């Protein structure tokens, strides 16, 4: 019996799971559509967006931490960072405590681009959350957290990528 909170979902069929997977694919496509158009104007891809996002959330983030968050190769990240630095969107400073560290921050232009990308995604997510309601939002977050690998769940729980200001 379904009590309105999805109790019957504990026994999902393969068809229901496949529909959920397809819903995630299509939702992700919608979630990335607006930023993809903005990124395309500059010849950037989603890797650039992810880098801008996390550098913007944690000014002074070091390259090693960004590598761990993004789960990409060092070579791949270096290509993305080099482009963002050459285009004046990201600055790299030497660490004070450890001079081997490279600490990353967004420039004014980088912050403006990141804001434009995030605004598009926040608008889509805000609309979906409003339409779905608070219980659905809580359930959605719970499902996403349980899909994360344990290491990423720990990073997320510690607030990696938390906003430093409210918008």
Contacts of 121 (CB under 8 A, 6+ apart): 31, 34, 35
Spell out the domain ranges in the chain.
14-157
Place of tokens 């158009």: 37
Predicted pLDDT at 100: 77
Contact 1, 7 (CB under 8 A): yes
pLDDT tens series, the chain, 167 aa = 444 555 566 678 899 999 999 999 999 999 999 999 999 999 999 999 999 999 999 999 999 999 999 999 999 999 999 999 999 999 999 877 777 788 999 999 999 999 999 999 999 999 999 999 999 999 999 999 999 998 888 888 887 655 544 44
Class of domain 14-157: mainly alpha
pLDDT at 53: 97
Please tell me the predicted confidence (pLDDT) of residue 2.
46
Closest CA to 91 of 73, 76, 107: 107
For 40, how many CA atoms within 13 A lie in the half-sphere containing its CB?
A: 6
- Terminal Cα-to-Cα distance of the chain (whole angstroms): 41
Q: What is the pLDDT of residue 48?
A: 97
93 phi, psi to nearest 5 deg: -120, 155
Record the tokens describing residue 148, joined without a space. 């994360």
């Amino acid at each position: 019996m379904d009590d309105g909170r999805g109790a019957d979902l504990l026994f999902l069929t393969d068809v229901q799971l496949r529909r959920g997977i397809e819903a995630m694919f299509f939702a992700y496509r919608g979630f990335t559509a607006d930023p993809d158009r903005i990124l395309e104007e500059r010849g950037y891809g989603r890797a650039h967006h992810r880098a801008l996002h996390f550098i913007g959330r944690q000014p002074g983030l070091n390259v090693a931490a960004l590598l761990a968050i993004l789960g990409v190769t060092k070579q791949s990240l270096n290509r993305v960072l080099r482009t963002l630095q050459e285009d004046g969107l990201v600055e790299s400073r030497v660490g004070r405590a450890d001079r081997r560290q490279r600490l990353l921050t967004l420039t004014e232009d980088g912050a403006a681009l990141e804001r434009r990308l995030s605004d598009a995604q926040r608008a889509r997510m805000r609309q979906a959350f409003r339409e779905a309601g608070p219980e659905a939002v809580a359930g959605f977050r719970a499902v996403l957290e349980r899909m994360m690998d344990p290491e990423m769940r720990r990073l997320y729980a510690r607030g990696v990528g938390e906003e430093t200001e409210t918008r």
